[in-house]
Structure formats: structure tokens, C-alpha cells
Amino acid sequence: MIIKRIKLITVLITIATSYSFAQTQRKPMNQLINEEFKFALEQYKVLAKNIPAGKTPQSFANGKPVNQDIKWWCSGFYSGSLWYLYEETKDASIKLEAEKALKVIEPNQTYTGNHDLGFMMYCSFGNAYRLTSEPAYKAVIQRSAASLATRYRPNIKSIQSWNKNKYWDCPVIIDNMMNLEMMNWASENGGSPKYKEIAVTHANTTLKNHFRPDLSSYHVIDYNPETGAIKRKATWQGAADCSAWSRGQGWALYGYTMMYRFTKDETYLKQAKGIAHFILNHPNLPADKIPFWDFDAPGIPYAKRDASAGALIASALLELGQYTSGSEKAEFKSVAETMIFSLASPSYHAKLGENGGFLLMHSTGAYPLNSEIDVPLVYADYYYLEALLRYKKWYL
């Protein structure tokens, strides 16, 4: 009887969520995008007031802003989001704030302490250069690519993610796929060919070692740095070593879609499609398409959601749709639309002046570490804005 009641409650929650989504979906997408950028323009002016000098915004928790040092892996998302806002609105004050944010993180171009230089320097300076063609920005990207290349380990044929510590010997995480975008771009824009060679080799090693037969991804592969042998396949932020951590699946989807963009290697396109179908066909993907923090999280359907995973996956699906056709393209576009409408609904969307100035609520950073649970996260906003721009560019 108890089991039947739980199943009934789950069905009712699903129906309610679907109805709520259907109501939100009635707004034309072009109207929604325009309204979202107007909102984001004002909301980020609120966010800008909460940032101490020399810091970058990360979250808002317990009624207080959370800011980080510039070497925190998320330090480039704020300036990147500002450039997306400037791209759409042409607001001069936002451009000034974006330029100011770049100055804060510019010293990271020589940082070699982790693998996150792509997040830190390409999401920021990459967008800045794309919109302004400022040579100084290009030089920073090239220097950042050189710094990231120092973490390439020939014995494991990958870029080492974290430094050796008491938990890991030579770890590579699925997130690292995202940093390959900067390496590809640097080679194609006057930098050393070795950067793209490293990106391709890393992507191939990850494809070989990170994925299960169903094309879900492990979070961490720990290697023997001398022999290249795999020591362990595990997780750090997921529910279990064998689970599918939701944002990790998003990193994989985005990463292989991006690798196809740069190489036109059909192997990467096939991998991206397979990852997408794993995500979209998973029985634990909710009706509003915003994932639980892990597809195998304990307590589903009451587990915490991860709006950042939803925004990331939506953006990736919109690009993947550009390389597909027919019913597959239609499916990727449709699910991305669902995700955008859900994120724009009151279920995930902040009110003006609230949420510390962040756009989205209900992201999950690292649930097993009791870190950043059910809070706004700067990269959720970044990929949400990116998804909106991509939809407008490719589908309107």
C-alpha cells in the first residue's frame, strides 16, 4: 500500500510539473528571449554591487553573496556572461563591467595549477575577442593555452585535471572536455598546432576510458602517471562510482559536440548523439527536463535538481541540432526548448533584485561534499544565456 501511494504521488508530481511547463511554453520563444535579456541586464547590475575588489561571484547562500578568488575554476563565467549580455543588449555599462571583470582574472593566463584554464580564460576572453577583435584579448587566450598545455601527460595521453593528492594519483575528470575548446581555437587562430593535437588526443583517450556501454560517463579516471594504466574509475561529485552524475553527462555532451565542430570527425558526432540519447531517454529525466543532480540520485523524485546541468545540456543540444537532421534534430531542439521554458519559469527563475543578482535558482554543485546545494551558481547563468543566444541565432 505504501509503495502504491509513493507511485501515485510521483505520478501526480509529474502531471503537475508537465502542466506547469505547458502553461509556460505558450509564450513565443522570441518574446521569452527578449524578456530574459532585459531581465538579465537589470539583474546583473544588482549582482555587480555584491562583488568585492579582486574577487569573482560564485553564488548566493544564507542571504549572503559568495565570492571566490580568481584561481577558482569558475572565475571566467561572470565576465563571459557579461559579454553575452553586451552581445544582445549593446548596453555600454555592461561592456565596462565586462572589461573590468577581465582585468581581475587576467593574471590567470600563466596559471598552471589546474586544468580549468578553458573555463577561466576562454569563456571570458574568448567571448571578449569574438565581439571586439581586440588583439590583447587574443594574446591572453594564446598564453592561457600554453599554460594549459603544461598539464598534458604523454604517458596517459590526457591533460591531468587535479594535482596528485591523498585521493588521486593522476586524475582526469569528464569536465576537462570543456577546456579543449580553448586549445582547438588557439591552434586555429595562430597558435601552435600542438594545442589541437593535445585536444584531439585527450578527447580520444576520454572516449576510450570514460564511457560505459550505455554511453554514460564516469566522473573521474585515475591513472598511473608512469605507465598510463587505469587505477580506478570513480566519482567525486556524483552519487556513486557507477552512477551518472548529471552535470558530468552535460560536460561530455557539450565536449564531444564541440570537438566535432573543430574536427568534423564523425566519431565525435556519433559519441555526442549517443550521450544525448542516454540523457533524453533516461527514465529519471523529469518532465520539465531539468535533471536531478544525479540520474541515479537517492530519493528520486524528491532529490535536488541541478539547473546548471539543465542549462548546459540545453546549450549543447542546440549546437548538436546544427549537425543533425530530421526527427533527431527536431528532438534535440524540442528538449532544449523545454529546458529553456522550464528555467524561465518561476520554478527556477529568480525575481528581479532577489537571489543575490543571479538569474537562476536551484543548482547543485557537489552534493556528496555538502557543497553548493540548491543555490544559484554562476555557470548556470552563463550556459542559460548561451542557450538563449544560440536559439536566437540558429532557430529564429
Q: What percent of the chain has pLDDT over 70?
A: 93
Within a domain: residue 98? no
Confidence of residue 8 (pLDDT cuts 50, 70, 90): very low
Segments forming the whole domain that contains residue 348: 1-49+244-396
Task: Dump pLDDT digits (tens) for 32-43.
Answer: 999 999 999 999
Residues 6+ apart with CB under 8 A from 115: 148, 151, 159, 160, 161, 162, 173, 176, 179
Task: Dump pLDDT digits (tens) for 360-385.
Answer: 999 999 999 999 999 999 999 999 99
Confidence of residue 127 (pLDDT cuts 50, 70, 90): very high
Q: What is the residue type of 202?
A: H
Q: What is the residue type of 227?
A: T
Q: For residues 284 and 202, give the distance between their C-alpha atoms in angstroms, rounded to a whole number.
A: 30
Q: What is the residue type of 124?
A: S
Pairing of strands 220-223, 230-234: antiparallel
Given a cut of 90, whether residue 15 has pLDDT beyond it is no
Give pLDDT, residue 2.
43
Task: Please count the structural domains in the chain.
Answer: 1
Within a domain: residue 133? no
Given a cut of 80, whether residue 273 has pLDDT beyond it is yes
Within a domain: residue 352? yes
Say if CB 159 and CB 151 are below 8 A apart: yes
Say if CB 222 and CB 231 are below 8 A apart: yes
Within a domain: residue 158? no
Within a domain: residue 261? yes
Task: Dump pLDDT digits (tens) for 164-198.
Answer: 999 999 999 999 999 999 999 999 999 999 999 99
- Which residue numbers are catalytic? 116, 175
The CATH code of the domain that includes 21 is 1.50.10.10
Give pLDDT, residue 19.
40
Closest CA to 294 of 370, 365, 227: 365
Given a cut of 80, whether residue 22 has pLDDT beyond it is no
Confidence of residue 115 (pLDDT cuts 50, 70, 90): very high
Q: For residues 355 and 348, give the distance between their C-alpha atoms in angstroms, rounded to a whole number.
A: 11
Within a domain: residue 361? yes
Q: For residues 81 and 308, give the distance between their C-alpha atoms in angstroms, rounded to a whole number.
A: 14
Closest CA to 258 of 383, 168, 357, 129: 383
Give pLDDT, residue 18.
44
Within a domain: residue 198? no
Within a domain: residue 150? no
